[in-house]
Structures are given as structure tokens and as C-alpha cells.
Structure 1
Amino acid sequence: MLPGRAARLWKVGATVAEARPLSKHQRQHRIAALLGEVRVTSQGRLAELLAEEGIAVNPSTVSRDLEELGAVKVRIPGGESAYVIAELPRNQVAPADHLRRVLGEWVVAVANSGELVVLSTPPGCAHVVGSAVDRSGLDGILGTVAGDDTLLVIAAEDPGGSALAGSLAELAGLDVGWSRPGPAPGPVGFIAPTNER
């Protein structure tokens, strides 16, 4: 093990050398899945479950991930408390700042063709962005279809795909012309960052 780092890691059954490197989004995706599958009563227990899968995390990472996922502790039958990811009811509109935060954090490019708008995300994140868009209450959206790293947003004829792409790009902090820096440039019509993150 690496000196110093070992003391900061919550690890059970995995050494630092055995731990799988995961991106933040992959780790949060796994945490969300665990919270749906297993009764997780503490941050320490969550770290143990991750360690059993070879994912080493420290206390601040677990805390930050739970907060960013919107996880809350609720009382469950038997008197215990467990973490769950609170979802808005299907008919409740999410606050605008929630959509801005999700798009700003996870959308790396925006493009449109006719009434179709494509949002590109890191692997495993399109469903999160899709849920935020679905619950945003934005006018002009007929529906969304999420893959692994691509979200298709179908625009109504009024305002149309171009206007909707512009609105979503603005919320994501992107500008027309480029995608966020990354391994491969996007096709013509992609949207570029307006500020450094």
C-alpha cells in the first residue's frame, strides 16, 4: 500500500493496488445502483460495499458523492435509517438551477439536426441528464431517449431544434461551434464552452 494514502482510505477486502480506477461518474453510477440494491445505513457501510467491489474511496469522496447524487437518509421499517436517492415525483418540476448544474457538469457537446437535439455526456451519464431534462418543465420538448453517453431530445416544431439546442447549450455553459476539450472533436454544429471549468 501507499504510505499516507492508506490511512485516508476506507477499505475492506481490497488494497490500493487492487482498487479499480473509476471516473467520478462511473463511481457515482455504482453508488446509485448500490443504494437501490442494498440497505446502506452509513457512509462507512457504503465504503465497505465499494471496497468489496475493489473500489477504494475516502470519507470525503463518499460524502461528496452522496450529496451530488441527492441521497438522503430516511427511516425504514425496523427503525433504522438508510440512504436513498430522492426522486422528484413524475409530475413535479425540478428547479432551474438543478438543470443548469446537471447540464453544466455532464454535457460535453450539443448538436442538432432539424427537430432533433443530441447531448453528449461521459459514459454512463446520459440517463441522469435525461431525467433532469424530463423534469425541467422546459417548453418545446416532446421527449427524450437516453443511451449510455448520448441523449436524444426531440423538439416541438415551435420553438424548433435549433432554438432548443441553443437554450440547452446556454444552460450547459457552452457556445455554438465546439465541444468541450476531449479526446475526439465533435462533428460540425457542436457547441463549445464559454468559460473554463
Structure 2
Amino acid sequence: MSTKAQRQHLIRELLASHEINSQAQLVGLLAERSVEVTQATVCRDLDELGVAKMRTAGRTVYAVPEADAPEALPPNTLRRVFSDWVLDVRSSQNIVVLRTPPGSAHVVASAIDRSAVDGVVGTVAGDDTLFIVATEEFGGPAVAEHCRDLADL
């Protein structure tokens, strides 16, 4: 059983990867992923997500407006965030661990997530510690070196 937030996240992913032109089609795609919902539930989810029908190549398909996407950070903002908040950088395999002052890890994580840093799959922030998961292609040591450079460490 999935939560509403998980279901709506999956709906966003499906809309990004498929040309979906009906609620019934979306219900079917959700069912293929073991998420059983009614068309009425999908209708409410689409409304809450701000999804609209858009015309593409003579067809109408559901799409999440780009205005809902998080705003990207200006280029030098990530460097400023790192230099202000990152105290230490360590790595192991595909994990990078950043230390920040208490209560600041989420600020750095958000900046990384909004900057689409090469080699970063995602982040997890605690109070004063932040984990970065690096892609296999880049690896933790390379991402850690980039982080050290951004923080002037």
C-alpha cells in the first residue's frame, strides 16, 4: 500500500516518462506498479498536483507545469553556501559525508539538490551531517574533491 505522497510522486514520474492522455490510462499504469486506485482518486491527485492537459503533435496529454519545478540556484550560490556552511568533507566509495554547524545540513542539501551537481544521485540531511550519494561513474572521492573545492577546504 502506498501513501498519498508516494502515489503522487509516482504519478509525476509516470507523466514525465509516458504520454498519458486519459485518467483510465494512468489508473492502468499505476496498477502495473501495484498501486490500486480509482479514477476518482486519480482525478483528485491530478488536481492537487496542478496537472493540465496540453496539446502535443495533435494529441492532448497530461503534464505537470514547469512552474512546479524547483527553481535552480544561480551559479555562484552553491559555492557561497559551501564556503559559509561546510566544515568538513569525507568520502567512502560512493558516499560523501559533509559536516556543518548544528542546524545547517538541510541548507547545504537543498543547495546541492537544486544545483544538479554532476555525479550526485541525491542527499540526506540530518542536523549537522549531510550524506551525498554519488553515481558509480563519478564515485565518492571525486564528488568529495569537488565539494572541498566549493568549500575552499
Other-structure match for 2:141? 162
Q: Does 1:139 pair with 2:124? A: no
- Counterparts of 1:128 and 1:90 in 2: how far apart (Å)? 18
Other-structure match for 2:46? none
> Deviation per CA, 1:54-78, whole angstroms, max 9, x where unpaired?
xxxxxxxxxxxxxxxxxxxxxxxxx
Instruction: Return the TM-score normalized by structure 1.
Output: 0.42
Structure having the higher helix fraction is 2
What SS class does the counterpart of residue 96 from structure 1 fall into? coil
Which 5+ residue runs of structure 2 have no aligned equivalent?
1-66
The higher-RCO structure (CA 8 Å, 6+ apart) is 2
> Deviation per CA, 1:91-139, whole angstroms, max 9, x where unpaired?
4321221000000000000000000000000000000000001011111
Spell out the pairing of 1:93-112 with structure 2 (5 A cutoff).
93-112=72-91
Which 5+ residue runs of structure 1 have no aligned equivalent?
1-87, 175-197
Moved over 6 A (4+): none
Deviation at 1:89, TM superposition (A): 6.0
Aligned-pair identity in percent equals 52
> Deviation per CA, 1:10-53, whole angstroms, max 9, x where unpaired?
xxxxxxxxxxxxxxxxxxxxxxxxxxxxxxxxxxxxxxxxxxxx
CA gap of 1:90–1:124, structure 2 versus 1, over 3 A, is farther
- Counterparts of 1:93 and 1:142 in 2: how far apart (Å)? 16
Q: RMSD in angstroms over aligned alpha carbons? A: 1.5
Native 8 Å contact 1:134 1:143 kept in 2: yes
Matched letter for residue 90 of structure 2: A
Instruction: Return the TM-score normalized by structure 2.
Output: 0.54
Native 8 Å contact 1:99 1:171 kept in 2: yes
The counterpart of 2:129, out of the listed 150, 159, 179, is 150
Matched letter for residue 132 of structure 1: A
CA gap of 1:108–1:89, structure 2 versus 1, over 3 A, is farther
- Counterparts of 1:96 and 1:169 in 2: how far apart (Å)? 17
Matched letter for residue 140 of structure 1: G
What SS class does the counterpart of residue 124 from structure 2 fall into? strand
Q: Tell me the number of residue pairs that the alignment of Structure 1 and Structure 2 aligns.
A: 87
- Counterparts of 2:69 and 2:102 in 1: how far apart (Å)? 25
Other-structure match for 1:116? 95
Deviation at 1:172, TM superposition (A): 0.6
